[in-house]
Amino acid sequence: MKCQAIFPVFAVLLAVGLAQRMVGGRVDADMNDAAVQDALQFAVLKHNEGSNDAYLSQVASMVRVQKQVVSGVNYFITVRMARTNCTKNNTNEVCAIHQDPALARPYTCTFTVWSQPWVDKMVLLKQEC
């Protein structure tokens, strides 16, 4: 008789616990975490490689970062980007974002980066700018 009373209580507690944090779901991540910064640096590099702009862009500010544990980690990174004063062929220079908003042309990007750090693998799955 006690088992019949305990099971419904246990089921409710389990359901409440799973609802609060779904396994494999997205969670907010620390923007300063080294793995997040690595994923962001990779995404910006790929973004600049694929851009038709003659100038490099860089992160002006971070908006939001989430991560999701899969067969590795998915990082969902939303940033404000802006153009720098460096052309793509001068990648060894320190590049500052233009102070003039007309030259900086700020825009928002969301990058999805999949990482498997134990095999040193990173893939830019998606970018929306």
Bridge partners, residue 1, by sequence? none
What pLDDT does 66 receive? 98
The confidence score (pLDDT) of residue 20 equals 46
Helix segments in the chain, DSSP class H:
2-20, 34-50, 101-104
Counting other chains too, the contacts that 38-45 makes at CB distance below 8 Å and 24 or more residues apart are 38/115, 38/122, 39/75, 39/77, 39/111, 39/113, 39/115, 39/122, 40/75, 40/77, 40/79, 40/111, 40/113, 42/113, 42/122, 42/124, 43/77, 43/109, 43/111, 43/113, 43/124, 43/127, 44/81
The C-alpha angle with vertex 50 and arms to 46 and 56, in degrees rounded to 5, equals: 75
* pLDDT of 94: 82
Give residue 47's pLDDT: 98
pLDDT of residue 25: 96
pLDDT along the chain (129 residues), means of 10: 47 41 86 98 97 96 98 98 91 85 97 97 98
pLDDT in tens, 55-72: 999 999 999 999 999 999
pTM of the model: 0.80
